[in-house]
Structure 1
Amino acid sequence: MQKQFPLDIVPLTDEEDKIVKKYYKGTTWLQELVWLVANDLDFEKTTNEPFTKRYAYIEYPTQASDITKIVPTNPSHRATFDDFRTLPNMTSPRFLKSHLPLSCLPPNLLDTAKVFYIARDIRDVAVSFHFAHKLFRYFDDDVTFKEFWDLFKNNLILHTPIFPHVQEAWSQRNHPNLMFLFYEEMQNDLPDVIDRVCTFLGREYSKEQKEKLASHLSFENMKKGPKLAQSSGQNEKTFFRKGKSGGWVEYFDDEMKKEAEEYIQRNLEKTDMRYPTTNK
């Protein structure tokens, strides 16, 4: 069922590379917002330089198998240009991406860096993970979502268990150097999130500049970006999918919906954290 090689070993096909990235992945949406706010709204650079160049995905090599990796010839296929091994050589300010929980990162992280954490309804996360695991060849195409969900809810998927991960960050949400966000907040009121990110990073921009930023971050404009994807093709197996929360209902049958509700209630009963509903 599971493949034994990472994305760098078997690059995406040309067809997959041309897929319209219909469904924002929260991490990347936030990455674009944070990078632009911190870099004087340099839209030209975001157009010409990919996320994988601007952000170091620090733990990526640890997710690869021990077999020899082949570096893709097409730079757009690379998962990252820098990681924990090259991090010391990067010039400041450094922008880092990680899916690790806070407890697996340097213990003084929040005392030395600004940290953004983004969470999302775990049902949407499960759907996104399902297609991402297929796209990155971790699973065969014939693995159904129902089969994947069974693994996900039993914490047998990469980056699980989800709830301890999120709750750990939630417990630190009042730290002055941590900004905890829900994906649904970005979807419900992006201008408000932009204002909060600007304040958190100590940056001031005019109303017109922030409106331009919001427009740049809109789904319709982001999907046109040459470093994200350009195509009118349609395919579920794509890194970014529909850009909205609540899409999970299309993939959960009645039994799975009940399982998910019980799963969420069981894991949230000892915390005051609740996932926001979406109004769009």
Structure 2
Amino acid sequence: MAKKIQFPYEIKQLTPAEDELAKKYYKDYTRPFLRIGPSGYFGMAGLGDHIQDIYNMEVRPDDVWVTSFSRSGTTWLQELVWLVANDLDFDRAVKEPRSVRYNYIEYPTQIAEVKRDEPPRAGGRKATENDFRDAHALPSPRFIKSHLPLCHLPPQLLDTAKVFYIARDPRDVAVSFFFMHKMFRYFDEGVQFTDFWQLFKKDLLLHTPIFAHIEEAWQRRNHPNLMFLFYEEMQNDLLGVIDRVCKFLNKDYSQEQKMKLAEHLSFDSMASRDTNKAQNTELKFYRKGKAGKWMEYFDTPELVRDANDYVDKHLMNTDLRFPTVE
């Protein structure tokens, strides 16, 4: 057995004031939340327990990994990637949940300490059948999902396997992430978006800071084993993205086949197969499938200005730019 590599980044607890504020919203967590590495990524205590195990996961040459900051179009991209890699097996894609087809490796590390099961899910759905603990036992080729930043994933990942990363305008992410926190009952229903936005800006939410997360992948976008995509690109030119994914995975399909895939990936088609039957449309897993709608929720001139200032400040020293939706 290969000797484990030491996880190279500092793991420290939030300050008492930060931890108190986070626990005001994240219910049922008793241990202190964490900051990890120089970017200070926010994580639950369970991630600190197991991050070295994740960092030391075996990576296989025929693995396909889909990574992102949460609510950036991950599910959409997962479906596209899996179908391209699996000879457009639509029957299996409909019958077999993504929670079976993809191993969401870090999911158990998000469990609240007072819970005896998985983090709560809307509609009774299970997020994943497998995780980092049993990834080694899965047959190849494996399809793996993670919302961890690249620096927390196995260091040999990009030099070994095919990796996708999808990014989305952080203002749209914030809105979708807000409803996700309610849908999965991380936060109480009464929490307001204005409170959530303050936590988002202070990097007191799972996976934050978002710009560091995206920038890590953006800086590696020219690596031959990494495909960096924008959610907005998929909205603007889904067929073009399908072509790129096919080329990246060395697959060749007819135009008719790719048109059928695009139809399968349409918002209405994806939403119709969603097993979450929540009555509140805002709390459904597939909410609206649109980019650039964040201003509907930043509903005062002050909030709009604050959101724009937040994005402008973080883009100031990078060539990263989020596409507009045509």
**TM-score bracket relative to the smaller structure:** 0.7 to 0.9
Give the structure 2 partner of residue 258 of structure 1: 305
1:139-179 CA distance string (max 9 Å, x none): 11111001110110111111100001000100000000000
Give the structure 1 partner of residue 286 of structure 2: 240
Q: Give structure 1 regions of 4+ aligned residues with deviation exceeding 4 angstroms.
A: 230-234
Q: 2:242 is matched with which residue: 169, 194, 212?
A: 194
Structure 1 residue runs of 5 or longer lacking an equivalent are: 6-23
**Aligned 1:100-115 pairs, distance under 5 A:** 100-115=148-163
**Aligned 1:46-85 pairs, distance under 5 A:** 46-70=93-117, 77-85=125-133
Q: Give me the whole-angstrom Cα distance separating, in 2, the residues matched to 1:30 and 1:52.
A: 14
Secondary structure of 2:229's aligned partner: strand
Q: 1:212 is matched with which residue: 257, 260, 270?
A: 260
Q: Contact 2:271 / 2:286 at 8 angstroms: preserved in 1?
A: no
Structure 2 residue runs of 5 or longer lacking an equivalent are: 1-24, 30-70
Secondary structure of 1:181's aligned partner: strand
* Residues 1:3 and 2:27 aligned together: yes
Q: Please report how far the alpha carbon of residue 240 of structure 1 lies from its aligned counterpart in structure 2 after TM superposition.
A: 1.9
Give the structure 2 partner of residue 229 of structure 1: 275
Amino acid at match of 1:27: T
Q: Give me the whole-angstrom Cα distance separating, in 2, the residues matched to 1:256 and 1:230.
A: 31
Aligned length: 258
Give the structure 2 partner of residue 31 of structure 1: 78
Q: Give me the whole-angstrom Cα distance separating, in 1, the residues matched to 2:263 and 2:221.
A: 28
1:109-149 CA distance string (max 9 Å, x none): 00111000000000000000100001111111111001110
Give the structure 1 partner of residue 314 of structure 2: 267
Secondary structure of 2:199's aligned partner: helix
Distance 1:151 1:68, change over 3 A: closer
**Aligned 1:68-217 pairs, distance under 5 A:** 68-70=115-117, 77-217=125-265
TM-score (norm 2): 0.76
Q: Please report how far the alpha carbon of residue 232 of structure 1 lies from its aligned counterpart in structure 2 after TM superposition.
A: 9.6
Q: Which moved further from structure 2: 233-242 or 213-222?
A: 233-242
Q: Contact 1:224 / 1:230 at 8 angstroms: preserved in 2?
A: no
TM-score (norm 1): 0.88
- Identity fraction in percent: 60
Q: Give me the whole-angstrom Cα distance separating, in 2, the residues matched to 1:180 and 1:122.
A: 16
Amino acid at match of 1:254: P
Q: Which has the higher strand share?
A: 2
Q: Please report how far the alpha carbon of residue 231 of structure 1 lies from its aligned counterpart in structure 2 after TM superposition.
A: 5.7
Distance 1:25 1:118, change over 3 A: closer
Q: Give me the whole-angstrom Cα distance separating, in 2, the residues matched to 1:235 and 1:37.
A: 30
Q: Please report how far the alpha carbon of residue 68 of structure 1 lies from its aligned counterpart in structure 2 after TM superposition.
A: 4.8
Secondary structure of 2:175's aligned partner: helix
Secondary structure of 1:115's aligned partner: strand
* Residues 1:43 and 2:67 aligned together: no
Secondary structure of 2:228's aligned partner: strand
1:18-54 CA distance string (max 9 Å, x none): xxxxxx8600000000000000000001111111110
Alignment root-mean-square deviation, CA:
1.9
Q: Please report how far the alpha carbon of residue 76 of structure 1 lies from its aligned counterpart in structure 2 after TM superposition.
A: 5.7
Q: Contact 2:72 / 2:231 at 8 angstroms: preserved in 1?
A: no
Q: Please report how far the alpha carbon of residue 235 of structure 1 lies from its aligned counterpart in structure 2 after TM superposition.
A: 2.2
Higher relative contact order structure (alpha carbons within 8 Å, sequence separation ≥ 6): 1
1:192-246 CA distance string (max 9 Å, x none): 0000000000000011100100111111212222xx2376955211222101101
Q: Contact 2:99 / 2:129 at 8 angstroms: preserved in 1?
A: yes
Q: Give me the whole-angstrom Cα distance separating, in 2, the residues matched to 1:44 and 1:67.
A: 40
Secondary structure of 1:118's aligned partner: strand
